[in-house]
Amino acid sequence: MSELTKIMLRILPFVVIIFVISIKVRKGDFSKEELGIQKPDSYIKVFSWWVFFLFFCVLTELLLYKYNLLQVKSYAFDLNTSLLKICGMLLLAPIAEELLYRGIFLSKLIQFKVNKHAAIFIIAVLFVLLHSFAYEQTLASKIGIVQVFIDAMLFGYARLNTNSVYTSIVMHITGNLIAIAEMYLL
């Protein structure tokens, strides 16, 4: 199987999730407000969350690098494969995952009267479990588990604090952009 085919198969679930959620919203099964598909309460809050997350990510990566704990798989794909991988990581995955985790799942847990902190924790654990690197037995994957868990917690709090899933999508894109830069530049 070619690398291009593998990448296409990896991003297909994200396309399906976005498509199904958009149909469910149009049919009225989910409201835009319930999913957080709405203008944030405050753009200053969004910007503050984004700046905090950016500094957190950069500081984390610099510390990992300083202590020789930053382990990055470099990629050298052809242009089409690279562009598709970047599109999947930079747009499709963050949009699909945030709509699913911080949109549907978080809203449903809160509707079921789960404490918001517990709901964010539960969603963060699910988020980590559904990322494939969580099952590798390497130092990089163990560090990745902690990083993704913290990121997921921050995404949840940012989504609730701004009342918009767009905040967590922008943060998620930022984190993935840093990962992409490491993969292709280091």
Please report whether residue 34 resides in a domain. Answer: no
pTM here?
0.94
What does the DSSP 8-state code read for residue 135?
Answer: G
Please report whether residue 163 resides in a domain. Answer: yes
Please report whether residue 17 resides in a domain. Answer: yes
Q: How much is the pLDDT for 180?
A: 92
Residue 122 lies in domain: 3-27+40-185
Please report whether residue 33 resides in a domain. Answer: no
Per-residue pLDDT reduced to its tens digit, 43-96: 999 999 999 999 999 999 999 999 998 877 777 778 888 899 999 999 999 999
Q: Please give the mean pLDDT across all residues of the chain.
A: 93
Total domains in the fold of the chain: 1
- Show the tokens assigned to 37: 């598909």
Q: pLDDT over 90 for what percent of the chain?
A: 79
Please report whether residue 35 resides in a domain. Answer: no
Vertex 41: Cα angle to 40 and 42 (nearest 5):
90
Q: Is the pLDDT of residue 184 over 90?
A: no
Please report whether residue 115 resides in a domain. Answer: yes
Per-residue pLDDT reduced to its tens digit, 91-130: 999 999 999 999 999 999 999 999 999 999 999 999 999 8
Contacts of 174 (CB under 8 A, 6+ apart): 50, 53, 54, 57
Please report whether residue 86 resides in a domain. Answer: yes
Q: How much is the pLDDT for 66?
A: 93
